[in-house]
A and B are shown apart, each in its own frame.
Chain A
Amino acid sequence: MNMVVFVLLALLAIVGAFGVILWKNAIYSALSLVGTLLSLACIFVTLEAQFLASVQVIVYAGAIMVLFLFVIMLLNAQYPSDEVDPLEWVAPAAIAGGIVLAGAIAYTAFLFKAPKPLEEAAKALQGGTPGPVGETLFTKFLLPFEAVSLLLIVAVVGAVALVKREPEGKQVRETLEERATHTPEEVVA
């Protein structure tokens, strides 16, 4: 039963992932990624990570993908300009490399020996509910937590600074006081 659920969710995730790289239209790609993220959220539930599953839906499938769709539609970038690949050998080489990489990781994965019985280990997670996760976050992960808050501030300021339009001709906007005392040429210099 568990295996059936896993295989179904895994197939959904893989189909969504193929959608991301195969659609020509970027909006369809983004929506396929939403499908993959949602099935990953369901997989998180089967892995005793309930809090992460809900965060995955809210932050990833919700906020981040909405941001992506906003930018795609804002830039009108859903269609590729002209898909002329200057290096023809890249695509086949990438596909071959990808198959080798997937095979290597999958083979290595099955060499993994579980350190303890799964049932016993899963019990220690307490279902991955917000309580236990939050406790770890505010004790062992206090420094990363503070660092991330700093990072978010930097990211917000950086994003605003990056998309800020430069005034026409780099003209500095003068205050009323400056207008009274200077000529506009002086302000520009």
Chain B
Amino acid sequence: MVETSYYIALAGILFSIGAVGFLMRRSVIQMFLCVELMLNSANLVLVAFARAWGNLEAQTAVFIILTLAAAEVAIGLAIIVAIFRKRVSTNVDELSSLKG
């Protein structure tokens, strides 16, 4: 069996890639994809530690997080669509004003 540390390291690498992408990309949708990537690396950590302790509760928590992610994506994409209707842009630099 592969040691837990390797899984945690992999999750750290994935999280960092997601964080870098979030800061570098200027398109709202790609930033959102990077957020999803970071969320998934957090899930990987939970599942890896669930095996290290032999505790199923972490896996159940991951299940709840998956449901949460689905709700988050539905709302996030609805907001992006609503903004796009008003501004016809998905570039964050053009969406800096909070005024409708």
Contact = CB atoms under 8 A, between A and B. Distances in A.
A101 B58 CA distance: 24
Q: Which secondary structure dominates where chain A touches chain B? A: helix
Contacts of B12: 101-102, 104-106, 108-109
Contacts of A158: 74-75, 78
A122 B29 contact: no
A60 B72 CA distance: 12
- Most central of A109, A148, A151 by chain B CB within 10 Å: A109
A1 B4 CA distance: 16
B21 A102 contact: no
B59 A125 contact: yes
A76 B7 CA distance: 37
Contacts of B21: 20-21
A105 B56 contact: no
A109 B60 CA distance: 23
B29 A77 contact: yes
Contacts of A97: 19-20, 23
A29 B32 CA distance: 11
Interface of A: 2-3, 6, 10, 13-14, 17-18, 20-21, 26, 29-30, 33, 36-37, 40, 43-44, 46-49, 51-52, 55-56, 59-60, 63-64, 67-68, 71-72, 74-75, 77, 80-86, 90-91, 93-95, 97-99, 101-102, 104-106, 108-110, 112, 114-116, 118-126, 128, 132-133, 136-137, 140-141, 144-145, 148, 151-152, 154-156, 158-160, 162-163, 165
Interface of B: 1-21, 23-27, 29-30, 32-34, 36-37, 40, 43-44, 47-48, 50-57, 59-64, 66-75, 77-82, 84-85, 89-91, 93-94
16 contacts: A3-B2, A20-B30, A26-B27, A47-B47, A59-B67, A77-B90, A104-B12, A105-B9, A108-B8, A109-B4, A112-B4, A128-B59, A136-B60, A141-B61, A155-B75, A156-B74
